[in-house]
Amino acid sequence: MSLETISENRSCGGVQGVYRHASDATGTDMTFGLYLPPAAQRGPVPVLWYLSGLTCNHENAMTKAGAQEHAARAGLALIFPDTSPRGEGVADDDAFDLGQGAGFYVNATEAPWAPHFRMWDYITSDLPKLVLDNFPLQAEAQGITGHSMGGHGALTMAMRLPDQFRSVSAFAPIANPTESDWGQKQFGAYLGQGREAWRAHDASLLMAEQGYPGEVLIDQGSEDQFLDLLKPETLAAAMARRRQPSVMRMQRGYDHSYFFVNSFIGDHVDWHAERLKAKG
């Protein structure tokens, strides 16, 4: 796959790049951000994937989360993928929570989404192959995190692919999408009305059925305006029943915004760095 450099900027002693490539998974051009810390000048480094939420693209967390400073200190690379395929000929919807900007990190099987909305394959296979071939990253030391829709993606990918994602955390994840309007609508559109296919993309159900072999870190704002859609209590109950090693923090006074993510991103970067360096 060819790789086009859109921009590269010095940041915290490292380099924040933005790149474009033709994706085999989505059949479209895709854009992503990648931060390489100063340590990458000396050799391959562990990598943390950050999956963004509804309406976002690669730029939101890259410019608002303030993660580069923490990643530079920890010697960790950061990857900021887009949240969906985009462009002419890609299906879309007038609603903000379906279509472009709302891929939900699944492989769509239903028309008109199936030809391009294959974000599960894009994040777990297509983009990893590209970045591991072109940048100094440790394939055996990958962690994953995300916010809201991206937290949903991070948790489900880590639980289903624990050998690939050796550490996991989430900010305000959509924790029980099969029982939420943020999930039922999108899964019905992308995966069809057969609810059995939805189960593989519900963090609470996956936690109850199989859990995660490592530890899980989750931060949730107590004043999040979308708490009824996110359903963190369902995931917390599943972790408690399973006795999953985890840290789940209800952060008093914080909402769903990037001010919340920015406030705790340093803790998450350190969480992943500790675990990935032990395994890398």
Of 11, 181, 120, nearest to 128 by C-alpha is 120
Strand pairing of 14-22 and 3-11?
Answer: antiparallel
Of 42, 4, 45, nearest to 21 by C-alpha is 4
Catalytic amino acids?
148, 224, 256
The CATH code belonging to domain 3-275 is 3.40.50.1820
Token code pair at residue 107:
């492989």
Please report which residue ranges of the chain form alpha helices under DSSP H.
59-64, 67-74, 119-121, 127-134, 149-160, 181-191, 203-209, 227-230, 232-242, 258-279
Whether residue 129 contacts residue 36, with contact meaning beta carbons closer than 8 Å, is answered with no
Q: Tell me which residue has tokens 């985009």.
A: 86
Compute, in degrees rounded to 10, the torsion defined by CA atoms 53, 58, 63, 68: 100
Give domain limits for the chain.
3-275
- One digit per residue, pLDDT tens: the chain, 280 residues? 589 999 999 999 999 999 999 999 999 999 999 999 999 999 999 999 999 999 999 999 999 999 999 999 999 999 999 999 999 999 999 999 999 999 999 999 999 999 999 999 999 999 999 999 999 999 999 999 999 999 999 999 999 999 999 999 999 999 999 999 999 999 999 999 999 999 999 999 999 999 999 999 999 999 999 999 999 999 999 999 999 999 999 999 999 999 999 999 999 999 999 999 854 3
Instruction: Measure the CA–CA gap between 212 and 135, rounded to whole angstroms.
Output: 28
DSSP label at residue 122? I
